[in-house]
Chains A and B, each alone.
Chain A
Amino acid sequence: MHKELLQQLAQAVIDGNKDQAETLTNQLLDAGLEAKAILDNGLMPGMDVVGQRFRDNLIFVPEVLIAARAMKASLAILEPLLAASNAPQVGTVVIGTVKGDIHDIGKNIVIMMLRGAGFRVVDLGIDTPAEKFLQAAREENADIVGMSALLTTTMGYMKTVIERLKAEGLRVKTMVGGAPISPAFAEQIGADGYAKNAAEAVDKAKALLGV
């Protein structure tokens, strides 16, 4: 029964059916399944399919957004339980759109993909100064600091953040992305990783952490 419900939950995520995802999550909990098992065997397989289809250009941003919304609805139920159980996570990512930049759609999709892959993600929002990245990286014991920028006027700030992280001696990996960002730019500013899109961001984050 659990297996069938989990498959239905994965499908609800793939279909972007928020109400169904909430209902199934509650049913699975009522049936005695632990939150971590629901995450690992329902939500993550669903988002894995979404990520693969997105990578293969079979689906596009609207489909990913509604899948993410369905997953978020389920996670809202599971997260208090996950926190209470101290269940292990793949890793912790602190992520934000850099200072001066108020664009967040790309960052938000990356966040949902990372959460769907089992990462714990702390969203710092938009217009994020270096101090906020540093503080969150320390307080959340982050494994990765992710930065997003849409503007050529703000992409240079990624270097400022990376330099501050290094100067403060924080042992954390850095990832960057956004429309004007290229692998060459990422290398130039000393980032550990670059991802072209949200699906690649998950792969890169896993690679950086060796998982």
Chain B
Amino acid sequence: MNSRQRMQLAMTLKQPDRVPVMCQLSLGHYFLFSGVDPVDIWYTSEGFAEALIRMADRYRFDGILINLPGRDPEFERHIQRIESVPEGRKIVWKNGCFTLFPQDDNPHYYQPDGTRYFPTFEELEPEKLYYVEPWDITEIAYPYSWGFEAEPAPFDDFFPPYHMDTIKLVKQRVGERLSVHGEVFSPWSQFLELLNYENALMAIMDDPGKVQACLERLTEGAIDLALHQAETGVDAVLISSAFAGAGLISRQHYETFVLPYEKRLIAAIKAKYAIPVYTHTCGAIGDRLDLMLATGTDGIDTLDPPPLGTVELDKAKQQLAGRAFIKGNIDPVNTLLMGTPESIAEDVRWRIEVGKPGGGYILSSACSVAPRTPPEHLKMLADLAETYGRYA
């Protein structure tokens, strides 16, 4: 059984040969440890594909999550100069804006005056929204345009031709043996990224109807992107819905602003493609696993345990068994980043023993692996899955 088959069985709630392993690594971890230049990872489809494959092979992961869009192959034509700064590198663009590129974390794009651009809620017109990609190289724009393009793309041809390049490259190289997953931002995540969180959260109190109109539009774009990814051949689609936990919003707000839109997104993917769709929500989600299931998701990613979140794996297993696969629950900070080999082994072994019975469990960090997590800690995961995760 190869990794792809192992993941496929786990994601369809069956028992593979052993518990599969697949973590979502932070971009900073790729920057620090893949050996690929961070600028190439961030700005080129080829660089990111290379980093993804190298790290999956190094850690013997059974799958790869492609969590950046494919990049414009001619992005360099927009660069004026690159400077070394104390934080790392500074890319100054011909339009006067600049990107600060730390060595170990995601870069950010700044206006010439050093601020980051976000539209106000008041200026948003829902009909002008379609999809918001926060990790585009120029980050947020409104109305949304890709990179340095001056005009927004028409909604019936919104995603640029290079958008699927990383998926295509990874599929070509390892698609037969590894499970390759695409990522789509949930409508709710897009809305929060568009307004920079705080204003978005106040908007749901000020004008919920307008927020819902925005979310309707953003759902259309998310469906379009997910279908493009499925058509390109991904084995699963992850819905990144990071900001839908109890650390930010109530169950009632989840029911109003998250559930209906993710439900529609998932249904639209499933109507056309028989691939698993699963959901990544950070932090405290122990109080809303039932609502997450109601979206129709096939699996729940993260499941942060205390103190980062509120999910105890044994309780989650009881609630989700036979209904959705579980991917996650290893504390990425207190266990993987700061733990010792002994504490990691003990922690991971317990999670395998709890998650494994009956199948439907993928061993993974809860939220993303922190940039400076020692590689030797991550290498332990596949060994532990081999030792303790075998099905009879």
User: B249 at interface (Cβ–Cβ under 8 A)?
Assistant: yes
Task: Pick from A66, A102, A153, A179: contact of B371, CB below 8 A.
Answer: A153
B75 shortest CB reach to chain A, Å: 23
A102 to B370 alpha-carbon distance, docked (Å)? 17
9-residue interface stretch from A40-48, A57-65, A75-83? A57-65
Chain A interface residue bracket vs B: 20 to 34
A179 contacts which chain B residues (CB < 8 A)? 247, 283, 308
Q: Which residue of B lies closest to A182 (CB)?
A: B307
Say whether B108 contacts A62, CB under 8 Å: no
A104 contacts which chain B residues (CB < 8 A)? 198
9-residue interface stretch from B173-181, B200-208, B224-232, B258-266? B200-208
Say whether B104 contacts A66, CB under 8 Å: no
Say whether A66 contacts B205, CB under 8 Å: yes
User: A116 at interface (Cβ–Cβ under 8 A)?
Assistant: no
Could you tell me which residues of chain A, from 28 to 45, have a CB within 8 Å of some CB in chain B?
none
A77 shortest CB reach to chain B, Å: 20
User: B87 at interface (Cβ–Cβ under 8 A)?
Assistant: yes
A162 to B337 alpha-carbon distance, docked (Å)? 22
Q: Which residue of A lies closest to B196 (CB)?
A: A105
Say whether A61 contacts B248, CB under 8 Å: yes
Say whether B105 contacts A153, CB under 8 Å: yes
Knowing A153-B28, A179-B308, A180-B308, the reply to whether A63 touches B283 (Cβ < 8 A) is no
Task: Pick from B108, B248, B338, B371: contact of A60, CB below 8 A.
Answer: B248
Could you tell me which residues of chain A, from 60 to 102, have a CB within 8 Å of some CB in chain B?
60-63, 65-66, 69, 100, 102
Task: Pick from A59, A60, A62, A152: contact of B370, CB below 8 A.
Answer: A152
Say whether A100 contacts B87, CB under 8 Å: yes
B188 shortest CB reach to chain A, Å: 12
Say whether A153 contacts B198, CB under 8 Å: no
B247 contacts which chain A residues (CB < 8 A)? 61, 179
Say whether A100 contacts B206, CB under 8 Å: no
B365 shortest CB reach to chain A, Å: 11
Q: Which residue of A lies closest to B283 (CB)?
A: A179
Say whether B248 contacts A152, CB under 8 Å: no
User: B2 at interface (Cβ–Cβ under 8 A)?
Assistant: no
Say whether A16 contacts B246, CB under 8 Å: no
A205 to B136 alpha-carbon distance, docked (Å)? 40
Task: Pick from B108, B198, B283, B308: contact of A102, CB below 8 A.
Answer: B108
Q: Which residue of B lies closest to A64 (CB)?
A: B201
Q: Which residue of A lies closest to B199 (CB)?
A: A65
User: A151 at interface (Cβ–Cβ under 8 A)?
Assistant: yes
Q: Which residue of B lies closest to A101 (CB)?
A: B105
User: B372 at interface (Cβ–Cβ under 8 A)?
Assistant: yes
Say whether B371 contacts A65, CB under 8 Å: no
User: B111 at interface (Cβ–Cβ under 8 A)?
Assistant: no
Say whether A61 contacts B372, CB under 8 Å: no
For B321-345 the 0/1 string (1 means CB < 8 A from A) is 0000000000011100110000000
A105 to B116 alpha-carbon distance, docked (Å)? 15
B20 shortest CB reach to chain A, Å: 25
Say whether B201 contacts A65, CB under 8 Å: yes
A63 to B206 alpha-carbon distance, docked (Å)? 10
Say whether A65 contacts B334, CB under 8 Å: no
Say whether B372 contacts A152, CB under 8 Å: yes
Q: Which residue of A lies closest to B201 (CB)?
A: A62
User: A174 at interface (Cβ–Cβ under 8 A)?
Assistant: no
Say whether A61 contacts B249, CB under 8 Å: yes
Task: Pick from A59, A100, A183, A185: contact of B250, CB below 8 A.
Answer: A59
Could you tell me which residues of chain A, from 167 to 184, have a CB within 8 Å of some CB in chain B?
179-180, 182-184
Say whether A60 contacts B198, CB under 8 Å: no
5 A-B residue pairs with Cβ-Cβ distance under 8 Å, sorted by A, are A16-B205, A62-B253, A180-B333, A182-B333, A184-B334
Shortest Cβ-Cβ A-B pairs, 10 listed = A152-B370, A62-B201, A60-B250, A180-B333, A61-B248, A66-B205, A65-B202, A153-B105, A153-B104, A153-B371
